[in-house]
Chain A
């Protein structure tokens, strides 16, 4: 038997830092984004602590403004956008399509170095004194007025963007050129479809962000009038450019989550996924439509009324493919053999929270209602339901699902189920009150607020502490399992997919002993031998 990728080729620092193995690079990403997640989470905890009382008593407004900027920048660019794509995507894409590695292994390693360099610059900007513009960098505040390290932060994000572009290119080429014999497009796991759609967005949208940040730097450093009206520029131009990237970026974050859920649900419902083609095409439809809805962030920005009407309509249209996915997942459960293992609990939690996030998106797409809700806590609650309730639930669910494959160890099931329940409860307690706060009119980015909002804010802060414990749990018991966990068999869930049926746990360096040949559709959970999620035992 060959050695696993974890030990083959040495285990010193050098063997890891110079590796070209997609699986080891995935681990490098896992460690780095976990560190960033801690930073972003710490900032969030301090904000929730400050908001427990109406007065500004814990931090000053200067500090608070830096905290929410730190939280937004780190969580969006250095956790959410890379998370599933670079960790699970990197690890699983070659395994799922029966390849030895990604198409460009060296580029893959370079992407990680670029990502870390960008991240370190962003952290350096924070250490020097932080940035107080918010993660949205609205001009002319960011370009002319802010007295903080805007340029350094922008350079960090600019650099990290190239990591996104290279990863996207790598995944697109890999999906096109490296599929195993017989693995036609409609035999691909839906996770691959989701990664593919995500990669297309990464490649097309990220350059626009780079251009935008470069223009902000140009105006800030040299006074070239692009956005500041005093220099003859147009502040709304920035918003158009920024959201042209940042709205598709929302789908960069959530689409891979859809992919993970589409793998977990059929496995623990023991049924082929319902509406395979519809889910696959819904990913593509979301990727395409996601590019033409950016203006719904600007209904009250003084853009033209009729632009608002068009963007509102398109935003409703992009909700349709998301609804299709939710209905198909639910239909997959019907007449299945459902096991509520940890990944399944996370997946069901995902469906619930993502549905609430999606439906409240309709409120915000509705013009007259958005005029009231824009820039209030309703928006905060909405996108946290999508990003945290949706994306992070999918990420942690996926980490549990593939943990045996990645590490060769089983996690403790009871602790896993407990963490899923705590996170679900804590999340709702944190963010549901914020919907009500938003409709009451509490604006976002306020460190002090009128007393009438206190009760709901206290609920939210209490929920945040539960949520914090919920996130610490998996970090503890997953680390524990690395040493003490039971050895994982090749296919602990009796799942379909090449990574389970043909690759060891953990896989060997080249993944497969021989090139796999695929001769059937994915998700054949309807075969008699697939009736149970009890896997083989080593």
Chain B
């Protein structure tokens, strides 16, 4: 190995990564300063005041309390400054850029599955365009994984049963390693992938290569029919079930009095854990699809529900009624 080319600092592929590097270097400077100060003080004391030396040892005339307050307050100020810097950078990162491209990432023992909204999917490889903000929506099919791209200085635990997001905007073309950073079992060290940042031209040709599959929402529509969802969740169905047109993003009143936003997490939970959030006015008769649907299929269904526009006749949408305790009795019982 050529020591001259020894990598001691990771490449940076986003503005955020460069910002983190500045903060890291500032922390290094503060730490090096403190270590140097202590080393000098200790070495000075040991050399000058070793037993038997003739150094002057008349007690110093210093105000002990002032000294203690100084070395309490000074670190406090420095620490607060670092805290504020780190926090603002952290919160900035959470804001997605303009019109982010949303990509689904599913972690499973031991691979990353990448699902693009246009229906393409690949394993352990994520293609993105230079300068295009990306928002990853991630979940796990089994245990906790962690999506870690050192070149972007970001990672996010990928938790089963939850949709978590990770946003970034790449500013440098190239291939960068993706690691699983949360220990996930036997082949944890093999759960690695590549982030491929392409120039816009290359990205366009990557997009147009091959036969375009059905979009995620179209795949969801097929599943919706195949799994029998349509039997209840369509106008005129015999069963009293919530209508899904225009549902996405609305506030939903629940039977227990809570209000929740009908986001991807809500749709996900309604499919897999239907008794967690029962909408007000409906009986808890929805069966759980736990074990019958894979997370990728749930994602397709979420995309399908997202794509359903509210019917023109009823722009209010079916779910925005305030909860009415009397309402339940008025409904005809489900057959």
- Seen from chain A, the residues whose Cβ lies within 8 Å of a Cβ on chain B are 56, 61-62, 65, 132-134, 136, 138, 140-141, 144-146, 228-230, 232, 234-236, 269-270, 274-275, 278, 300-302, 305, 308-309, 312-313, 316-317, 319-320, 323-324, 326-328, 330-331, 333-340, 348, 351-352, 355-356, 359-360, 362-363, 365-372, 374-376, 436, 439-441, 443-450, 452, 454-455, 532-533
Within the complex, which residue of B27, B60, B86 is in contact with A335, where a contact is CB–CB below 8 Å?
B60
Report yes or no: B49 in contact with A363, Cβ–Cβ below 8 A: no
Contact B49 A145 (CB under 8 A): no
The yes or no answer to B143 lying at the interface (CB within 8 A) is: yes
B313 to chain A, nearest CB (A): 38
B contact residues around A340 at 8 Å (CB): 46, 50
A-B pairs with beta carbons under 8 Å apart, 21 shown: A132-B185, A132-B186, A133-B183, A140-B144, A235-B160, A300-B146, A301-B159, A319-B79, A330-B41, A331-B67, A333-B42, A337-B49, A338-B45, A362-B27, A362-B79, A367-B87, A368-B19, A368-B93, A372-B20, A439-B24, A450-B177
In the assembled complex, the Cα of A140 lies from the Cα of B7 at a distance in Å of 36
Contact between A351 and B38 (Cβ–Cβ < 8 Å)?
A: yes
Kindly state whether residue B39 has any CB partner on chain A within 8 Å. yes
Asked if A312 and B72 make an inter-chain contact with CB atoms under 8 angstroms apart, the answer reads no
B88 to chain A, nearest CB (A): 8
Q: Are A454 and B160 touching (Cβ within 8 A)?
A: no
A65-B183, A330-B41, A355-B35 known, 15 other contacts, Cβ within 8 Å: A61-B188, A65-B188, A141-B183, A145-B109, A234-B161, A316-B79, A320-B76, A320-B79, A337-B53, A366-B85, A368-B87, A368-B89, A372-B24, A436-B8, A440-B150
CB distance from B175 to the nearest CB of A (A): 12
Report the minimal beta-carbon distance from B162 to chain A, rounded to whole angstroms: 6
**Bound-complex Cα distance A533 to B50 (A):** 12
5 smallest A-B Cβ distances: which pairs?
A: A229-B161, A441-B150, A366-B86, A367-B90, A368-B89
Kindly state whether residue B315 has any CB partner on chain A within 8 Å: no
Which residues of chain B in 261-320 are interfacial with respect to chain A, using CB atoms and an 8 Å cutoff?
273, 276, 290-291
B residues 96-134 in Cβ contact with A at 8 Å: 109
Q: Would B46 and A333 count as touching, CB distance under 8 A?
A: yes
The answer to whether B188 touches A230 (Cβ under 8 A) is no
Q: Is B64 an interface residue (CB 8 A)?
A: yes
**How many residue pairs at the A-B interface have CB separations less than 8 Å?**
254
The answer, among A324, A337, A365, A443, for a CB contact under 8 Å with B148, is A443
> What CA separation (Å) do A133 and B179 show in the bound complex?
19
B189 touches A440 (CB 8 A): no
What does the 1/0 interface line of B249-264 toward A look like (CB < 8 Å)?
0000000000000000
Taking CB atoms, residues of chain B closer than 8 Å to A448 are 189-190
Contacting residue for A455 out of B6, B143, B183, CB 8 A: B6
Cβ of B327 under 8 Å from chain A = no
User: B residues 22-57 with Cβ under 8 Å of A?
Assistant: 23-24, 27, 30-31, 34-35, 38-39, 41-42, 45-46, 49-53, 55-57
B225 at the interface (CB under 8 A from A): no
Q: Say whether B156 faces chain A, with CB atoms less than 8 Å apart.
A: yes
- Contact residue among A323, A367, A455 (Cβ-Cβ distance under 8 Å from B86): A367
Give A440 to B176 CA distance when docked, in angstroms: 12
Judging by beta carbons under 8 Å apart, are A337 and B51 in contact? yes
When A337-B51, A362-B79 are in contact, do A447 and B189 touch as well, CB less than 8 Å? yes
Q: Tell me if B211 is interfacial: C-beta within 8 Å of chain A.
A: no
Asked if A145 and B24 make an inter-chain contact with CB atoms under 8 angstroms apart, the answer reads no
Inter-chain contact A376/B290, CB cutoff 8 Å: no
Contacts of A236 in B (CB 8 A): 159
Looking at chain A's contact residues, the main secondary structure is helix
Residues from chain A with a CB closer than 8 A to the CB of B233 are: none
Complex: chain B residue closest to A230, CB-CB: B290
Residues of chain A with a CB closer than 8 A to B35's CB: 352, 355-356, 359
**Which single residue of chain A is at the shortest CB-CB distance from B8?**
A436
Q: Is the CB of B186 within 8 A of A62?
A: yes
CB distance from B39 to the nearest CB of A (A): 7
Contact call A308/B90, Cβ cutoff below 8 A: yes
Given known A-B contacts A331-B67, A441-B10, A348 and B42 have beta carbons under 8 A apart:
yes
| Chain B proximity of A235: nearest CB distance (Å) | 6
For A330, the closest partner residue in chain B by CB is B41
- Minimum CB–CB distance from A531 to chain B (whole Å) comes to 9
Give the distance in Å from the alpha carbon of A133 to the alpha carbon of B183 in the complex: 8
User: In the assembled complex, how far is the CB of residue B5 from the closest CB belonging to chain A, in whole angstroms?
Assistant: 10
B8 touches A440 (CB 8 A): yes
The residues of B that contact A327 with a CB separation of less than 8 Å are 71
Set of chain B residues within 8 Å of A312, measured between Cβ atoms? 83, 86-87
Is there contact, CB below 8 Å, between B83 and A300?
Answer: no
B59 at the interface (CB under 8 A from A): yes
**Known contacts A320-B75, A335-B60, A368-B23; A439/B9 CB under 8 A:** yes
Closest to A531 in B: B51
**Contact yes or no, A145 B42, CB < 8 A:** no
Chain B residues, Cβ within 8 Å of A362:
27, 30-31, 79, 82
- B75 and A319 contacting across the interface, CB-CB below 8 Å: yes
Question: Please, how many angstroms separate the alpha-carbon atoms of A274 and B59 in the complex?
Answer: 12
* Cα–Cα distance between A506 and B252 once the two chains are bound (Å): 75
The reply to whether A375 and B186 contact each other, CB–CB distance below 8 Å, is no
Query: Taking the nearest CB of chain B, how far is it from the CB of A75, in angstroms?
Result: 17
Name the one of A61, A274, A316, A445 contacting B82, with C-beta atoms under 8 angstroms: A316
- Whether B68 sits at the interface, judged by CB under 8 Å, is yes
CA distance A336 to B20 in the complex (A): 43
CA distance A441 to B87 in the complex (A): 21
